[in-house]
Amino acid sequence: MSYYLLAQEKVVLYPTEIPNSKQDISSLSEEDTPVLYKYDGIFSKKAVLIIPGGGYARVALQHEGHDVAKAFNAHGYNAFVLYYRLPKDATMVDRKYGPLQDAQRAMQFIRTHYELEEVGVLGFSAGGHLAASLSTHFDDVKIENIKQIPLRPDFSVLVYPVISMEDAYTHKGSKNNLLGAQPAAADITYFSLDKQVNKGTPPTFLVHAKDDKAVVFENAMLYQEGLRRSGVKNDIFIYDTGGHGFGLNNATDSRKWADAMFEWLEKVDSE
């Protein structure tokens, strides 16, 4: 069955005060103001929070955000695209937690304002790192959550994700932008998400190309190893070629990872 896009709504995540900000919301530029774009699905109580990549230096909103939301709408899902704050010392008290706060707030906002049975998360590249952070650190709440809204996603999809902050595997630009030039060992461990997987981590679908030279394939392998150790349901879609940043469409391979993902989501739901 096919569904079509009904509407798009832009929502400011923090109407009054942004946590961890050095400035009040009225003085922040549009670039430093996190927002959520809502795409309505039809006849669905399912939703996905989409987190584009960009190396924690930018947010690739179109091909890793809006285009993906429309693909989920075509399968009946509600979709939310997150424009999150980029980690900056100039605007944040502690830069490394800014993106995670926005991801937690987005999940909180969605579950507070919409009647949904299932809300998952999907992230690309550094957005995959943020999605995996939300999927492993959901109990380490970095925002005000008086009503104790659950922040754990119901499923997680990580596409060519940055996972490790260890020098042997990390994407150096993402690591430097998030943690700074000389990060503490504890921060490297906290944000090396293969080490943070636990039995509460949601079922996870991974996508990666073996020839990815920006974010090496081992990132996905490390995370999958962590999932297996913790007994978390998972699957991986592997391309031999395609490099990095292909979004929904790998030009070097006719197979569509999203088709396999939607089949996997149906299978997980039925189990």
- Ordered DSSP codes for 187-256: HHHHT-GGGT--TTSPPEEEEEETT-SSS-THHHHHHHHHHHHTT--EEEEEESS--S--TT--TT-S--
- 3-class secondary-structure state, position 107: helix
What pLDDT is stored for residue 5 in this prediction?
47
- With a cut of 90, say whether residue 182 has pLDDT above it: yes
Checking if the pLDDT of 190 tops 50, the result is yes
User: Taking residues 83-97, what's their average pLDDT?
Assistant: 96
Least reliable range by pLDDT among 2-11, 35-44, 168-177: 2-11
Q: Per-residue pLDDT tens for 45-57?
A: 999 999 999 999 9
Q: Of 8-12, 230-234, 248-252, where does mean pLDDT reach its minimum?
A: 8-12
What residues contact residue 28 under an 8 Å CB cut-off, 6+ apart?
18, 21, 91
- The CA-CA-CA angle for residues 130, 132, 138, to 5°, reads 95
Mean pLDDT of 190-196: 98
Q: What is the pLDDT of residue 43?
A: 65
Q: Six-digit token pair at 268?
A: 């997980």
Q: Picking from 64-68, 158-162, 242-246, 266-270, which range would have the lowest pLDDT averaged per residue?
A: 266-270
pLDDT surpassing 60 at residue 192: yes
pLDDT band at 136; cut points 50, 70, 90: very high
Residue 76 has a pLDDT of 92
Q: Could you tell me if 144 and 151 are in contact, meaning their C-beta atoms sit under 8 angstroms apart?
A: no
Q: What is the pLDDT of residue 165?
A: 98
Nearest alpha-carbon partner for 223 in 164, 263, 177 = 164
**167 vs 175: CA distance, rounded Å:** 9
**DSSP alpha helices (H): ranges in the chain?**
67-73, 98-113, 126-136, 172-179, 185-190, 218-229, 257-270
Predicted TM-score (pTM) of the model is: 0.96
**What is the Cα 227 distance to its own chain's centre?**
17
Q: Report whether pLDDT(140) > 70.
A: yes
What is the average per-residue pLDDT within 179-184?
96
Say what the pLDDT of residue 16 is.
Answer: 87
Query: Residue 213 above 70 pLDDT?
Result: yes
pLDDT in tens, 102-121: 999 999 999 999 999 999 99
Residue 74 structure tokens: 């075509």
